[in-house]
Each structure stands twice: as structure tokens, then as C-alpha cells.
């Protein structure tokens, strides 16, 4: 279901399956949009139907045109900073970017200007618009791979909910020390803060529930490293790093969690992201190529990307 950007509006031709909705039920029940923003649009009479102010209580007619003010200019608090970006997917509503190592996902203070979010803000500002871009999730500073960003508040709120409801699937690749004996492994161990260290996490029965699924890809006996694939049911801070250390197979290069210092960073890469676009309903699958120079991960061919 494509959208057509016209200034501050996204124009959508109403599809057949929306005929049972009013504008009110479309925004609140179908999209489950942010209540404050939806209320503001209603008070401002901001939504148009066939170019005219729309009634919120009349059922929609397939083939009509609805215009939604997704793209209103909003002054961002993020300092836009130029930096080359590896953009994996982009449309009017969202972006997926391949994050390099040694860069934070988002600022830790208002004056911080050297994070991936700052770079995305600059990229969007070059399209001639003031946008309130937002990261939907984060990767650790030294983890590489796909990161999802929202380009306007309405889609950002929906993507937040989708992430919470596990409707956004993220797959990681990693190199761990030792030979992982099982080809498939589920790690179900709660994670909490380590009171002896300001940034470290640990497995703790009083922590938050955390579940990681592991698939063994290949063991390299000369390096005593196993190449694995990871999927998360939950998104706790340092989850993969903590869980793999907990089972005695820390990430190579992850000195915080017991890995040996054989790489300049922990060998963890978010290589695949899958989601249904919340506005267009397109099925999106994105792969993030390895970007380390010199390389960390072995290239195993296209059969890996399935």
C-alpha cells in the first residue's frame, strides 16, 4: 500500500480492507497510533479526505484519498553531523542503517554530536526538512550492523510497540571462544546489573527475563572459534554478550565478559532485520554486510543469508 508524499502530508488511496474503518478507528485501533498525537490531529482537524477536512466518524470509502500530516516540521534537539552512512533501506517513514564500530547509537548528552543518530539527522536534514528522527533500538558502541530509525513521530510510536511485541526480528552473527557442542541452543537466563561494575550486566535470578536462541554455523579448530547465529526473544542490555559468557563461550574480543583480546572489538554483528512496514505493509528484509577493516568475520558465501 504505497504512500505519496505531498508536503506535510502522506497521501494514501484507501484500500478495500479499510472500508469498515472510520478515521478514528483507523488511527486508534488499526494502527494503534500515539494517543496524544491522534488527539492533536483531531482537535486541529488536520486530516484530509479527498482534499477536504475529514469527518472522523464516517466509514471510509475504498478508492478515496486520505491525507495524513506525518511530515510536519519539528525542531530536533539532535545536532546534525555529516558522516558517510551505509543506508540499507529508506523511504519517507523509516530508515535502516549499517552501524560501524566505535560509534554510539545515540547521544548520551545534548551536546554529543558524533553518534549514529546525529549522522542520520544530518542525512534527513539534507532532504530539506526539519525532522524529529528517532532510534527504535540500539547496538552497543562496538557492535556493528542494522539499526532502525523512525523519520516521524507517528511511525516511531508504532515501531516502538512492534519492537516490544517482538514483531521486528533481528538476527546476529558472532564468533565465540571454544567449540559449541550443540547445533541448536536456547539460553533462558534473567539478566540484571552487576553491582560490582558500573556498565557490566550479569545473569541474575532477580533480573529481567532474557531468552537467546543460538544456532551453530561452523567451528574453526585452528582458531578455536565457533561462528554462530543468534536470535533474541528479548532485548536486554548486553544480552548476547552476557548469555554467551554465562555458558562458557564468551564473544571473541569481548574483554568485558571474559573474551580474549584477539580483535579490536567484540565479534558481534546485527546482520539481518525483518519487519512488516507499519504504514505501507510491505514485508521488509534487510541484510547488513560486514564492514570491519581489517575483516573480523569469515565470509561463508551467500548461503548464509537466508
pLDDT single digits (tens) 102-113:
999 999 998 899
Round to whole Å and give the CA distance between 143 and 128. 31
Residue 288 resides in a domain? no
> Per-residue confidence at 263, pLDDT binned at 50, 70, 90?
very high
Domain end among 20, 42, 68? 68
Residue 136 resides in a domain? no
The CATH number covering residue 60 comes to 3.10.290.10
Higher pLDDT, 198 or 302: 198
- Residue 31 belongs to what domain range? 4-68
Q: How far apart are the first and last CA of the chain?
A: 26
Residue 100 resides in a domain? no
Q: Give the catalytic positions in this structure.
A: 140
Domain tally, the chain: 2
Residue 196 resides in a domain? yes
Per the prediction, the chain carries an average pLDDT of 93
Residue 108 resides in a domain? no
Domain end among 48, 68, 88? 68
Residue 89 resides in a domain? no
Domain end among 52, 68, 84? 68
The CATH number covering residue 225 comes to 3.30.2350.10
70-74, 242-246, 257-261: which has the minimum mean pLDDT?
A: 70-74
Tens-place pLDDT, residues 59-87 = 999 999 999 999 998 888 899 999 999 99
For residue 299, is pLDDT > 60?
yes
> Per-residue confidence at 127, pLDDT binned at 50, 70, 90?
confident
For residue 228, is pLDDT > 70?
yes
Amino acid at each position: 500500500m504505497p504512500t505519496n508524499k505531498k508536503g506535510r502530508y502522506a497521501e494514501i488511496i484507501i484500500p478495500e480492507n479499510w472500508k469498515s474503518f472510520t478515521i478514528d478507528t483507523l488511527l486508534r485501533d488499526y494502527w494503534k497510533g500515539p494517543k496524544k498525537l491522534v488527539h492533536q490531529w483531531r482537535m486541529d482537524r488536520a486530516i484530509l479526505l479527498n482534499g477536504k477536512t475529514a469527518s472522523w466518524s464516517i466509514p471510509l470509502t475504498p478508492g478515496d484519498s486520505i491525507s495524513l500530516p506525518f511530515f510536519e516540521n519539528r525542531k530536533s534537539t539532535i545536532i546534525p553531523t555529516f558522516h558517510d552512512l551505509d543506508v540499507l533501506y529508506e523511504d519517507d517513514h523509516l530508515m535502516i542503517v549499517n552501524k560501524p564500530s566505535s560509534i554510539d547509537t545515540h547521544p548520551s548528552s545534548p551536546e554529543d554530536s558524533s553518534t549514529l543518530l546525529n549522522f542520520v539527522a544530518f542525512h534527513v536534514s539534507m532532504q530539506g526538512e526539519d525532522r524529529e528522527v528517532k532510534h527504535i533500538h540500539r547496538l552497543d558502541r562496538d557492535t556493528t550492523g542494522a539499526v532502525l530509525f523512525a523519520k516521524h513521530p507517528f511511525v516511531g510510536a508504532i515501531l516502538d510497540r512492534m519492537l516490544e511485541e517482538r514483531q521486528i526480528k533481528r538476527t546476529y552473527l558472532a564468533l565465540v571462544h571454544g567449540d559449541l557442542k550443540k547445533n541448536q541452543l536456547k539460553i533462558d537466563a534473567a539478566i540484571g546489573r552487576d553491582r560490582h561494575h558500573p556498565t557490566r550486566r550479569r545473569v541474575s535470578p532477580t533480573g529481567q527475563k532474557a531468552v537467546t536462541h543460538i544456532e551453530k554455523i561452523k567451528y574453526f579448530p585452528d582458531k578455536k572459534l565457533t561462528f554462530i547465529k543468534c536470535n533474541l526473544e528479548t532485548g536486554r542490555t548486553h544480552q548476547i554478550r552476557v548469555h554467551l559468557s554465562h555458558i562458557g563461550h564468551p564473544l571473541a574480543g569481548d574483554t568485558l565478559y571474559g573474551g580474549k583480546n584477539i580483535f579490536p572489538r567484540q565479534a558481534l554483528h546485527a546482520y539481518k532485520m525483518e519487519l512488516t512496514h507499519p504504514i505501507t505493509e510491505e514485508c521488509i528484509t534487510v541484510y547488513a554486510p560486514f564492514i570491519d577493516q581489517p575483516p573480523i568475520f569469515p565470509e561463508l558465501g551467500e548461503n548464509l543469508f537466508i
